[in-house]
Structure formats: C-alpha cells, structure tokens
Amino acid sequence: MDHPAQGRPPVLAAEADVHRMALLKRHVDLKNEFYERVRNETRQVPEPEKRLRDTVTKLEKTIANQKAEIEALRRQVTRLALASAVLTHESDRQAERAPVSDNVVPSRRSTT
C-alpha cells in the first residue's frame, strides 16, 4: 500500500518528525524516486549528465580537430616527399652536367 506522501521525502520527514537529511540517508530509494519525479515533472537534466554531455561535446570537437590536423599533415608529407624527389632529380641532373676536373672521379648514387 502506497503512502500518500511516498516519493516526497520532505513531507515524510515532517510527518515522522525526523530530520530530512537523516531520512534521505537511510532511504536512498525514496530520495532517488523523489529526485526522479522532480526531474520528470520539471524536465530538468541532472548536473552530472550536463557535465558529461559537455565533456562529450568537447571531446567530439577535439577528435574532429585532430582528424583535420592529421589529414593536413598527411598532405604536407606528400608535398614534401614530392619536393624532395624533384630536388634530388634536379641535383642529379646538375651533377651530370657539371664539368669534371682531371683529378676528380664522378660517382653515381646507388639506386638501391
């Protein structure tokens, strides 16, 4: 049988002439039910849930930023590799065209 004040700890505490906090500590189920009803009736989101949602949003933004940064770094690595190949090729071509002294023996780079 349900008590008319069930789910309302302040009313129960007043009826029993017990300090409200003592009632809430001993009957956690009543406290949880009371706060659940308050949340449902007022459409409130619990503070820990708000903080968790904020943290999730921040982490999602961080992940998106990191993905963009990684993609930019990959493009930069590709451009630098191509630039390095071009410079190496140009250096090899200039070495082939450079005049050779009598006492210098040109050596080719190994391609292995």
Identify the pLDDT of residue 60: 98
The whole-model pTM stands at 0.47
Confidence of residue 2 (pLDDT cuts 50, 70, 90): low
Separation between Cα atoms, residue 38 and residue 25, nearest integer Å: 18
DSSP-based three-state secondary structure for 11: helix
Residue 34 CB neighbour total at 10 angstroms: 19
pLDDT tens profile 32-54: 888 888 778 888 787 888 999 99
